[in-house]
A = this chain, B = another copy of it.
Amino acid sequence: MKDSRATILIYSPDQPGLVAAVTDFICVNGGNIIQLEQHVDKQEDIFFMRVEWDITKFLIPKDKIGEYFQTMYANKFEMTFRLYFNDYTPKMAVFVSKMSHCLFDILARYTAGEWNVEIPLIISNHEDLRWVAERFGIEYQVIKITKENKDEMEAKQKALLKEKGVDFIVLARYMQILTDEFIKEYPNKIINIHHSFLPAFVGAKPYHAAYERGVKIIGATSHYVTTELDAGPIIEQDITRISHRDSISDLVRKGQDLEKIVLSHGIEYHINRRVLVYKNKTILFS
């Protein structure tokens, strides 16, 4: 059986004694620290911390930990924090369009049990990948979005997401731009894969742009979606070398291998509660 664990992500104005305070809270109450990482952004003077601890013998009951921490520490040190428990399995929806490489990579990991996640729903604007969803036994809903019906269709999407209890969304080459309203309902909870090393080649057709510019390296970027296009907090990036011999279709092919890995790594960081977003940047706890 898995042990019972809590994970806390914290940020606050920096000051002496923060690490000591948090670790004291855990130790004094019978917790055992499994992993601790802290970081101070000297430029912003902000303190960041992630602690994962064994709560099997923790004196404070699970549903009271947040309240106690708020009362005794968070108020005093102006901490913003989030608390997670490893006995909850987050629910993730995948939005796709016509390309299958990212979806396959996600489902292969999902099926192999790599991630502590549940996928109750795949949403698409096309029928193309229904067969993939069916092979993996996952519900596939086609919601055809046009310029005219966008608000209505997004309402339908949101209803589905709510019904399924979805915690976060992955855009696995979804190719549609979400409305600001939609995005605002899922702050730092929509992960997108962009097929360039951002901030280079924002927007449509980045491989064409990379080809035109004659770069020697192409990349992919997974990031949280914000209302500014391709400008949200970056989670993960990776690159591969190309040459003058590569046509645009070579870039697309080579890039797809990057996209699927970079997206899956981004998802993994998110699922494992290793990402803390502050001012449009991510702290990635290792």
A27 touches B20 (CB 8 A): yes
Chain B residues closer than 8 Å to A235, beta-carbon distance: 216
Chain B residues closer than 8 Å to A19, beta-carbon distance: 19, 23, 33, 36
Interface check A108, CB cutoff 8 A: yes
B104 touches A286 (CB 8 A): no
A32 touches B20 (CB 8 A): no
Interface hub of A26, A36, A284 (most chain B Cβ within 10 A): A36
Mask: chain A, 33-71; 1 = CB below 8 Å from B; 0 = not: 111111111110000100000000000000000000000
Mask: chain A, 102-113; 1 = CB below 8 Å from B; 0 = not: 001100110110
B244 touches A39 (CB 8 A): yes
B16 touches A27 (CB 8 A): yes
A253 touches B199 (CB 8 A): no
> Shortest beta-carbon distance, A205 to chain B, in Å?
14
Give the docked Cα–Cα distance between A112 and B26 (Å).
Answer: 46
**Contact of A216 (CB < 8 Å), options: B20, B43, B111, B236:** B236
Chain B residues closer than 8 Å to A31, beta-carbon distance: 16
Chain B residues closer than 8 Å to A281, beta-carbon distance: 213-214, 244
A27 touches B34 (CB 8 A): no
- Name the interface residues of A235-286: CB closer than 8 Å to any CB of B: 235-239, 241, 243-245, 247-248, 253, 257, 261, 264, 280-284, 286
Query: Smallest CB-CB separation from A113: which chain B residue?
Result: B100
Give the docked Cα–Cα distance between A109 and B36 (Å).
Answer: 34
Query: Smallest CB-CB separation from A232: which chain B residue?
Result: B214
Query: Smallest CB-CB separation from A99: which chain B residue?
Result: B112
B33 touches A16 (CB 8 A): yes
Chain B residues closer than 8 Å to A155, beta-carbon distance: none
Give the docked Cα–Cα distance between A136 and B104 (Å).
Answer: 12
Give the docked Cα–Cα distance between A78 and B21 (Å).
Answer: 23
B282 touches A244 (CB 8 A): yes
Chain B residues closer than 8 Å to A35, beta-carbon distance: 40
Give the docked Cα–Cα distance between A19 and B52 (Å).
Answer: 13
> Shortest beta-carbon distance, A277 to chain B, in Å?
10
Mask: chain A, 179-209; 1 = CB below 8 Å from B; 0 = not: 0000000000000000001111100000000
Sorted nearest first, the 9 A-B pairs with minimum C-beta distance are: A214-B281, A104-B108, A20-B23, A200-B200, A135-B135, A216-B237, A19-B23, A17-B27, A244-B283
